[in-house]
Amino acid sequence: MNCPYCQSPVHEDSPACPRCGLTMEKASAFFGAPPRLDSGVSDNAGVLSGTDARRLNRAIKSFERKFPQAGFTAAFIALPGDTLGPAYTMWVFNRCHPGAGEISGSGNRHVLLLVDVSGGGAWMTLGYGLEPFVGARHLQRCLDAAYLHFATGRWAEGAHAAIAELNGLLREIHTSLPRIFGLTTESSPSATR
């Protein structure tokens, strides 16, 4: 993983970033009280209609049925203009514990999409359990799919686009794992003798 502030490599068990010294305590002192996150959709900014929120919750539930080992939260928040989005997103993920019923540490396979409705930025982070498979470039693809929607204030459409892209990425990763690890799905004739 990388430090959300200076982007230096940091081990998941490190109490502080070795380069800039960022800790969760320092981030808490800077960011203040964390927002309240609900499972699925958290519209703290009040930008979604009831219909949009219900449709987005259904899309999240569908994602979680397809990938029952993973969870997803979409949070819509109006951030102050000087907020460093990646650091704030990582801090919210660690302080608010979306998908609280899930295992922590390497068992955490939750994904957080945080959308700043005042500045139009969006960031994604995920639990350590997904990091070996889903990298920054994958998350960027999801954000790129949502970009035009978020840039024009179509918040629900952007979140749908990010979820759809993540669905496709996880399917790609799932189908490539046997090849990556040298596994085959067919028994070879010599193996059955």
pLDDT cut 90: percent of the chain above it: 45
CA atoms within 13 A on the CB side of 51: 1
The residue to which tokens 């949009």 are assigned: 52
- Given a cut of 50, is residue 86 above it in pLDDT? yes
Domains of the chain with bracketed CATH: 24-183 (3.10.310.50)
Candidates 111, 67, 59, 118; CA nearest to 89 is 111
Model confidence, pTM:
0.81
d(CA 94, CA 100): 11
Tens digit of each residue's pLDDT (9 = 90 or more) over 13-72? 677 777 777 666 766 656 777 888 888 999 999 999 999 999 999 999 999 999 988 899
DSSP assignment, residue 50?
H
Give dist(CA 75, CA 98) in Å, integer: 10
- Write down the pLDDT at residue 118: 94
**pLDDT tens sequence across 169-188:** 999 887 876 676 666 655 44
Q: Residue 48: which residues within 8 A CB-CB, separation 6 or more?
A: 41, 56, 76, 155, 156
